[in-house]
Amino acid sequence: MDKPSQTARIRFDGCDIACRPGQSVLEALEQAGHRVPSGCRSGACQACLLHADDSEATTAAQAGLSPAQRLTGLFLSCQCRPAANEQLHVRRPADSPRHVARVLGQTWLGASVYRLRLHCDIDYLPGQYITLFRDDCTARSFSIASLPGPDRQIDLHVRHRRDGAVSDWAARLKPDSQLWLQGPMGRCVYASPADQPLLLLALGTGLGAMTAILHHALSRGHRAPIHLLAATRRAVDAYGLDLRDQLPKGHPVTIRHMALQGQRPGMEQQDLYDAVRAGYPDLAGWAVHLCGSERMVATLRRHAFVAGAAMRDIHADIFHSGTAGREVRNSA
């Protein structure tokens, strides 16, 4: 008697494709030679969305999608790992959720970080993120570092990597160049009462999202204290040290910059977690916003909860590291 097959079968673009146990739909399609857009491969950027006729089989791969996306059968192909002998009929989405953006220019903010300014007719909230596409299959996500306005500008703080598939490419784009973006996505936004203290914690270019949230809170008349702590591994990579000079006078805003290695004027040589643990042992009643690596967010989220912050008041924008040093965001 023949053994039952342990592979799932995917019907895509007129082809029958085997999907091994533990393999994602995205991996199986790529192995079979199909080009599918992808970015983070961790379910954050939503670049790899596909449509399945049998939406029940892909329910677990719909986390983070909107009700409309789930209802229409969209799923994250990087997160879908079909069970043995399962059969999926998959196709590309009929309607692309991408928008055309125009490059306005780049400004270097530090030794390794530049601001990419775009014009795009989308609505967003400070602290959300968008995904930029270099081509049909190369995408990276970046936090929004600006306030929405009638000029429809979007600022992104980008860590430049010489081998970066998107960061190096975007640094060389000329004004008026066009690119595709997707989003906005994410829920790490300012939604606190004006009398609730805010603790904003940023690692690396997470400072962009936290700066946007800070300015948004002030523009909405936030009255309670706001504390922003920004950290980098190396002092030479820090930027935004003049942030205090950009703020309106008279509001109780505390800003601290710190690094583990090296020293610069206006910076402390300290670990971010140690600073938070020592300076904020009691966070009952506070709203806490975190933007940084998965490890940083997990550690500081745990401290904030143990220190008394309600889970509903802890918001995070997570950088996931993938292949080739890519960075993407996932808001929780």
Q: For residue 15, what is the domain's CATH number?
A: 3.10.20.30
Residue 122 belongs to domain spanning = 98-185
- pLDDT tens digits, one per residue of 277-295: 999 999 999 999 999 988 9
Check whether residue 135 and residue 22 sit in a common domain: no
Check whether residue 130 and residue 204 sit in a common domain: no
Q: What is the 3-state secondary structure (H, E, C) of the chain?
A: CCCCCCCEEEEECCEEEEECCCCCHHHHHHHCCCCCCCCCCCCCCCCCEEEECCHHHHHHHHCCCCHHHHHCCEEECCCCCCCCCCEEEEECCCCCCEEEEEEEEEEECCCCEEEEEEECCCCCCCCCEEEEEEECCEEEEEEECCCCCCCCEEEEEEECCCCCCCHHHHHCCCCCCEEEEEEEECCCCCCCCCCCCEEEEEECCHHHHHHHHHHHHHHCCCCCCEEEEEEEEEHHHCCCCCHHHHCCCCCCEEEEEEEEECCCCCEEECCHHHHHHHHCCCCCCCEEEEEEEHHHHHHHHHHHHHCCCCHHHEEEEEEEECHHHCEEEEEC
From 49, 67, 91, give the residue that closes a domain.
91
Mean pLDDT of the chain: 88
- pLDDT tens digits, one per residue of 219-268: 999 999 999 999 999 999 999 999 988 888 878 899 999 999 998 999 99
pTM to 2 decimals?
0.78
Number of domains in the chain: 3
From 185, 211, 235, give the residue that closes a domain.
185
In a domain, 84, yes or no: yes
Check whether residue 220 and residue 310 sit in a common domain: yes
- pLDDT tens digits, one per residue of 123-140: 999 989 998 999 877 888
From 60, 91, 122, give the residue that closes a domain.
91
